[in-house]
Amino acid sequence: MPIKTIKIVIAGPYGAGKTTFVKTLSEVLPIETDVPITKSSIDGKKSTTVAFDYGRMKVREDLVVHLFGIPGQERFSFMWKIIARGGMHGYLFIVDSSSEERVKEALGMYNFFRENFPLTPHVIAANKQDVPTAVDIPTIKSILKVPYEVKVMPLIAINRRSALFVLVTLLEEIRSYLLEMTKYRW
Amino acid sequence: MQGIDGIIQLMNIRDAGYIMVIINSEASIGLTRIILEKYTDKLYDLLRKLLSVSEEEMIEVINVEITPKDIEDVINFIKSKAVI
């Protein structure tokens, strides 16, 4: 039986909250951050621990969700495309919304994703909305020039409910996209 | 081979296809991040060489189609594990 893999990329600039987001989800959902080693090691170890930038969630015997956090620093930008391509079903773009400056820092990376993956469903998560100086959603939309149809969700990445809500919203976007594609095919 | 020995061995591999297979495997994610920290320059040079070939040559995408029902199952699974 072939295993179906749903690949979700967690993108966003350095310090936006990608690692925290995956870590919070792993505390509430059965997300494994231990991954199988490609070849059996000499000591018989079959898995290795990776940072919380990666998570794997088994939904059915034949259905697995992968969450890939990508390095946010500009100097690793050559990795963005490499990690994202190869069957990315959707991406969550996390922005540090604690100040306008931090939101502006995300513009380049967001444009990169929009240009390289124009049809891929995505949701923008405005993290750190609990900070008193947090930028409001309409301002974030304006700074990032977010298309009308793309959702911008408030996020507090350390809050389980908030992280789950954002993840489910992204999954709903992916489902809507797949439904549209199915209609188009017929 | 694991750890530093594995990384050194990996960095000596010049076969583009093999490197990409490793990068797309699950276990490589942690390894890739270690390499990024310790061997950024070498990896960058190697990946630049890889980028000169076409996407089809670089990555073999295994396409098992995901359906809206699959996504619905994921949403239901998440909702069953956590009260949103």
State the average pLDDT for chain A.
85
Chain A CA closest to residue B61: A86
Complex ipTM = 0.86
pLDDT tens for each residue of A115-131:
988 989 999 999 999 99
Contact A164, B78 (CB under 8 A): yes
| Residues of chain B contacting residue A52, judged by C-beta atoms under 8 Å apart | none
| Residues of chain B contacting residue A57, judged by C-beta atoms under 8 Å apart | 74, 77
* % of chain A residues with pLDDT over 90: 51
| Residues of chain B contacting residue A79, judged by C-beta atoms under 8 Å apart | 32, 36, 47
Chain B CA closest to residue A29: B81
Q: Answer whether residue B10 shows pLDDT above 80.
A: no
CA proximity to A173, closest of B71, B78, B67, B83: B71
- With cut-offs at 50, 70 and 90, classify the pLDDT of residue A12: very high
| pTM, entire model | 0.75
Interchain contact A76–B (C-beta under 8 A): yes
Interchain contact A185–B (C-beta under 8 A): no
Burial B19-35 (b: 16+ CB within 10 A, else e): bbebbbebbbbbbbbbb
Helix ranges (DSSP H) in chain A: 18-28, 77-84, 100-105, 107-116, 137-144, 160-185
Q: Answer whether residue A158 shows pLDDT above 80.
A: yes
pLDDT tens for each residue of B22-59:
454 555 555 566 556 556 666 666 666 655 655 444 44
Interchain contact A131–B (C-beta under 8 A): no
* % of chain A residues with pLDDT over 70: 81
Contact A44, A62 (CB under 8 A): no
Query: Per the CB < 8 Å rule, is B75 touching A171?
Result: yes
Name every residue whose Cβ is closer than 8 Å to that of residue A14 and which is 6 or more positions away in sequence. Answer: A71, A72, A73, A74
Average of per-residue pLDDT across A171-182 = 92
Burial of B45 (0-12, 13-18, 19+ CB in 10 A): exposed
Q: Answer whether residue A134 shows pLDDT above 50.
A: yes
- The SS3 of residue A139 is helix
Of these ranges, A44-53, A55-64, B55-64, the one predicted with the greatest mean pLDDT is A55-64
What local confidence, expressed as pLDDT, does residue B84 receive? 57
Distance from B59 to chain A by nearest Cα, in Å?
A: 7
B26 vs A47 pLDDT, higher one? A47
Distance from A173 to chain B by nearest Cα, in Å?
A: 10
Distance from B8 to chain A by nearest Cα, in Å?
A: 16
